[in-house]
Amino acid sequence: MSDLSVANNTVTKAFDVEAIRRDFPILAQEINGKPLVYLDNGASAQKPLAVLDAMDRYYREMHSNVHRGAHTLGDRATAAFEGAREIVRHFLNAASTKEVIWTRGTTEAINLVANGLAPRLKAGDEILVSHMEHHANIVPWQMLAERTGAKVVPIQVTPEGELDLDSFNSLLTERTRILAITHVSNVLGTVNPIASLIEQAKKLGVITLIDGAQAVPHFKPDVQALDCDFYVFSAHKLFGPTGIGVLYGRSQLLEEMPPYQGGGEMIERVSFERTTWNVLPYKFEAGTPAIAEAVGLAAAINYMDGLDRKAMEAAENALLVRANELVETVPGMEVIGTAKHKVPVMSFKIAGLHPSDIGTLLDQQGIAIRTGHHCAMPLMDFYGVPGTARASFAFYNTLEEVEKLFTGLQKIQRLFT
């Protein structure tokens, strides 16, 4: 068995990961008598004190409904809520806050777009997705196809877990109306070349939607540079709260799309004869919004903006490099997805072991990973596995925690041999 002493951690020290970890109180606890090693960031990242404090301050000092209050608390809540929208606009480099729609998460954002694009589709049209999509970027399009007679067509992936560009080029045709594709695979960590995909799609007038849920924790997208029509993500992946997400949409398309839900806020005027819609972005925001959660997301983005992004990316890459180095120390371990360009996500299987057993036994050692199909059954079918174990790293993880993961896997492997 090879030595698992911590490798050169110059990058991590320069990034001062220990100081960063103190910003995340949940990381200081023990699980089953062991220090918590949280490696399930791809499912939901932990929250810094800045987020917890911002949401607490909202409830303690300014809670009220937004926009129409004729009192000070209503003004405070509205300023915080719309200020959060501006912070998101800046994060995405959207042209206007009217292009930033609050949703409950990535899933609702995709459903909103799929519903709104229904009038544009007819029988024989095609919706291009990929084999590496999360179910949330497959099922809404299947539902739309059933309504309209359109067809969902999957782009193939390579054995290494990269998008098969030959497959993309052959499937992108005059019948294609929508390209809905993930920026980063939640299973493989693969970073797709979406800028070039969007460029090719636009030449044929194809509408483009990018699922950025797994991308935004690792780098900032620029929707104007990408020239995508829609970009969606969830706050809880971006070190913010659950229950809120963002839909960026090109204003022209949003203006043309019908509302997704009806109710308060999204109306201009209601009578029993006729209802007219509010202006963007409120046209798509029915009901009382997740105000505290928007404030929390803004705090998360501000926190991330306070980090040295290049150092953060280097630290995360060092974690993935070290994990790849240690794979050979676990007999029978195979990594699923070896793309050249990927974020720090490692899906794997170990011969003779069920992924759920791996997860349970690691939890006994205080190590949290994710197991199962990761809401990506078509991808599991492609690799011929029922599921995988997945370790997903964040900038607050350490090289020592990578070592603990592999020490834990070695213990499990010995137990079953």
To the question of domain 51-305 being in CATH 3.40.640.10, the answer is yes
Cβ atoms < 10 Å from Cβ of 145: 19
Q: What is the DSSP letter of 22?
A: T
Q: Which two tokens stand for residue 176?
A: 């294609």
In this predicted model, what pLDDT tens digit does every residue of 328-373 receive, in sequence order? Answer: 999 999 999 999 999 999 999 999 999 999 999 999 999 999 999 9
pLDDT grade, residue 105 (50/70/90)?
Answer: very high
Which helix (H) or strand (E) is 199 found in, with range?
Answer: helix 194-203
What pLDDT is stored for residue 387 in this prediction? 97
375 counts as catalytic: yes
Are 324 and 335 in contact by the 8 Å Cβ rule? The answer is yes
Q: 25: cis peptide before it, omega within 30°? A: no
**CA-based angle 54:58:62, to the nearest 5?**
150
CA–CA gap between residue 276 and residue 270 (Å, rounded): 7
Cite the residue boundaries of each domain of the chain with CATH code 3.40.640.10: 51-305
Q: Chain-wide mean pLDDT for the chain?
A: 95
Q: Which of 118, 143, 368, 375 is catalytic?
A: 375
**Class of domain 10-40+308-415 (CATH, top level):** alpha beta
Cite the residue boundaries of each domain of the chain with CATH code 3.90.1150.10: 10-40+308-415
pLDDT at 7 exceeding the cut of 60: no
What pLDDT is stored for residue 338 in this prediction? 97
In this predicted model, what pLDDT tens digit does every residue of 42-101 receive, in sequence order? Answer: 999 999 999 999 999 999 999 999 998 789 999 999 999 999 999 999 999 999 999 999
Phi, psi values for residue 228, rounded to 5°: -80, 160
In this predicted model, what pLDDT tens digit does every residue of 142-195 receive, in sequence order? Answer: 999 999 999 999 999 999 999 999 999 999 999 999 999 999 999 999 999 999
Q: Which residue has the tokens 């008598």?
A: 33
pLDDT grade, residue 10 (50/70/90)?
Answer: very low
What pLDDT is stored for residue 6 in this prediction? 32
What pLDDT is stored for residue 416 in this prediction? 86
Q: Which two tokens stand for residue 103?
A: 């949703």
